[in-house]
Amino acid sequence: MKKLFTVALLVLGILTLRAVAQPVLAQPEPGISELAQTGARHILDFFRSQGRIHAAVVDLVDLSGLSDLSGQKFYQLLVAGLESDTSGHIRFSDLMIAFAANRGEFNLNPARPLSHLIQLKLIRNRDRIGLGIVIFSRTLNRIVYIKYLESPLSAGEQTILQSRDLPFSGLGFTRLIEMEVRENLLAVRNIRDDSGEERYFFYYPDELLIYKINQERLEKFFSIKLNWQRPLYPVLDIEGKLALFTRGQTLWLSVGGNFSPRSQLFQLKGGQWEAAGTVDFVPLRRLVINHVEYLAGARFEAGKNVFSDRLVLAPFREDRPDPANVLEKQGAPSFDLDFSSADGQLNAIHAVDTTYHCRLLSAAFEETFAETVKYGASLAVAGDRWLAVSDYSETTDRLHIFDISGGGRLPVYQAPLEGEATFICEGSWKGTPGFWVGVRKKEESYWRPLLQFWGKKDE
């Protein structure tokens, strides 16, 4: 049984959206009832091809925002659907004792004769409620069925749960600074150096400017001229990525864009930045996968603002990435993407594809789910905790922030942007974590380039 729960929890973890606040829904409304009936139908359809079976639900976790009473009624509806089978070769046992604190309690003493064990997890995906199903075969000693289903929430259900979407609007994320910048700012990152001071890196196509804080303003500290190798692609919209990471005691920096097929690498040595070669993809993160260090990223399609459908992993050999032995993993063509990680260990891959839908890939590079709601073309991840995405709008842009610490996407904050988001980057301002957002604000006769920082003040 312990082995079952370990494997099943790992699988369903990719579907998790962490629950917050107090439960509010008192009874299952149409969308939730429909999901219970659909879930029962899919489970029955699977079992009808399995011969004689004896099964039971042995784990149920509710992370969708339902009350305990509503979660219990969801379970009763699903079990009623399972027990509706009249074929005679499918038998279900109801082992649930109680439902409390968003979790079912089950009597597992009579579970020994069961041939199949079922684990369920309820989550919420904006205006839809989702159900993750995992079935474990005791005979084969492995998972034999994984399914994720969604059902639209009714207007009443959405209204009740809406109040739980924005718990940090008054005490968490807020715009801490805004400054006017030079046109064509592509990315901003910052890092604390050996002296303990923050250094802020502004990436323009022709140079990298490094700033330090002097009281309440940024003061230029250093600059690096960028010399791009040919060919140089003519592009309609210039886009680029800046990555900062450490290996041992060495600080690395990389810059790449859609206007050149090669990205530039730099190392900080003796207080000076030195060129450290190039790679033929755009680096995004340093990652550790199966105890191997990689420089991970993707390639822009030549002269376009779209990443190709391949994720690139260049292993480090001695003191630098090895471009001759890269690994490539299947992704999807995307406007933007980022890797969530904890201490360098890969957790998931987040992307917004060319249809403006957010996609999630697991640490095994397997598609988990795609959003049904459209977003904008800018995206960034902060560690393994937050995801920020721009809005799909032709008039007013918005910043959406999600909690991804549970393995899924829980919306926690959104705010209007006075203009169009051009990029989003992870960062901090005076020790406050959050996101840098490049914004083009429409004035009477021109677009005014601005840089904003949105941070969580109570961190």
Per-residue pLDDT tens over the stretch 100-142: 878 898 888 777 789 999 999 888 766 678 888 999 988 888 8
Q: Boundaries of CATH 2.120.10.30 in the chain?
A: 173-456
Q: What is the pLDDT of residue 323?
A: 82
Architecture of domain 2-162: 3-Layer(aba) Sandwich (3.40)
Return the closest-CA partner of residue 335 out of 285, 280, 374. 374
Q: What are phi and psi of 190, to 5 degrees?
A: -145, 155
Q: Boundaries of CATH 3.40.50.10610 in the chain?
A: 2-162
Q: What is the pLDDT of residue 84?
A: 87
In this prediction, residue 381 has a pLDDT band, given cuts at 50, 70 and 90, of very high
Residue 52 has pLDDT above 90, yes or no: no
Q: b/e per residue, 323-348, with b = 16+ CB within 10 A?
A: beebeebebbbbbbbbbbbeeeebbb
- Domain 173-456: CATH superfamily is TolB, C-terminal domain (2.120.10.30)
What are the CA-CA distances from residue 100 to residues 61, 96, 106 (Å)?
A: 10, 11, 11
Average pLDDT for the chain:
84
Least confident of 106-115, 252-261, 307-316: 106-115
**Tokens (6 digits) for 49:** 């091809």
Residue 168 has pLDDT above 50, yes or no: no
Pick 25 or 289 by higher pLDDT. Answer: 289
Q: How far apart are CA 7 and CA 293, in angstroms?
A: 26
In this prediction, residue 406 has a pLDDT band, given cuts at 50, 70 and 90, of confident
In this prediction, residue 333 has a pLDDT band, given cuts at 50, 70 and 90, of very high
Rounded to 5°, the CA angle 382-383-388 comes to: 25
What strands, in cross-sheet order, belong to the sheet with 240-247?
240-247, 250-257, 263-269, 272-279
Query: Which H/E stretch holds residue 156?
Result: helix 155-162
Residue 217 has pLDDT above 90, yes or no: no
Least confident of 14-28, 96-110, 221-235: 14-28
Q: How far apart are CA 67 and CA 161, in angstroms?
A: 11
Residue 309 has pLDDT above 70, yes or no: yes
Q: What is the pLDDT of residue 28?
A: 43
Q: Tokens 């917050």 belong to which residue?
A: 20
